[in-house]
Amino acid sequence: MSSDTLTSTEYIKHHLQNLTWGKHPDGSWGFAHTAAEAKDMGFMAIHVDTMFWSILLGLVFLYFFRKVAKTAQSGTPGGLQNFVEMIVEFVDTSVRGSFSAKNDLVAPLALTVFVWIFLMNFMDLIPVDWIPGLAAATGIHFMKVVPSTDPNATFGMALSVFFLMLFYSIKIKGISGFTGELTLQPFQSKNVIVQAIFIPINFLLEFVSLIAKPVSLSLRLFGNMYAGEMIFILIALMFSGGLALGIFGGLLQLGWAIFHILIVTLQAFIFMTLTIVYMDMAHSEH
């Protein structure tokens, strides 16, 4: 999809629009051909490109890590095994440093979160016109290739971590212990009447703090990756402005891509670290 055939505004909107499948106002089901059609499909519409790329990248992660696990050797390991072992050791060190309880799920969860989000973020380094252009050539109207720029994907991952946190909070502390954490802190009193007054105040403060965890976890990842994608799109507009502006845009794109490698990795690391911390909080009794 070339910016030469679209205005700047249309080009930006096209690259930020997901391939959406859902129910049309006339009752039929199908893909949206415009942003307005996608909006009319409502909440139950599916972002097919987000689903496709996130599942594909998850399968890539599983394939290569399973391949290394099956062929691992203690002698002279190959480059892929060294790379995978480095990632596993890095994640294991992070878990040991931040998770004080014992739960065999946390390390695999942290590894999955880190590698999967990194792969999704890494798609942002592919030139913005390549895959959408190929999709347009086959009749597909829209194609966003960075799942982490879709809040549906980031909220889905954050809510999964959130539900695990709630599950282990109740499992470890019981219903009464979990309820006590929400109602009996941070304000406490030995006077029963005063403590009763503190309960709704404590609940409000702790409930807001609890809900803020998945919201901040998802919006942090989404905001950073969406902003990065927007900058790539804006730089890509410069290629239609002539040779001199195109060369300058190429240099800008190279510089931003190099810097963006740090952002891609850092956002995956932050999501993983907060996942470990939240799971540790779920296992800690106050």
3-state secondary structure 54-83: HHHHHHHHHHHHHHHHHHCCCCCCCHHHHH
Contacts of 11 (CB under 8 A, 6+ apart): 1, 3, 233, 236, 237
Active site residue 216: yes
Residues of the chain with pLDDT under 70: 1-5, 286
Backbone angles phi, psi at 150, to 5 degrees: -105, 115
Question: Which one from 3, 94, 148, 224 is the annotated catalytic residue?
Answer: 224
- Whole-number pLDDT of residue 16: 94
Q: What is residue 151's three-state secondary structure?
A: helix
Write the pLDDT tens digit of every residue in 189-212. Answer: 888 899 999 999 999 999 999 999
- Whole-number pLDDT of residue 59: 97
- Whole-number pLDDT of residue 286: 64
- Whole-number pLDDT of residue 22: 96
Question: Which one from 216, 218, 240, 284 is the annotated catalytic residue?
Answer: 216
Contacts of 4 (CB under 8 A, 6+ apart): 240
Question: Which one from 66, 220, 240, 284 is the annotated catalytic residue?
Answer: 220
- Whole-number pLDDT of residue 79: 86
Residue with tokens 């950073």: 224
Active site residue 18: no
- Whole-number pLDDT of residue 73: 81
- Whole-number pLDDT of residue 4: 53
Active site residue 66: no
What are the boundaries of each domain within the chain? Answer: 3-283
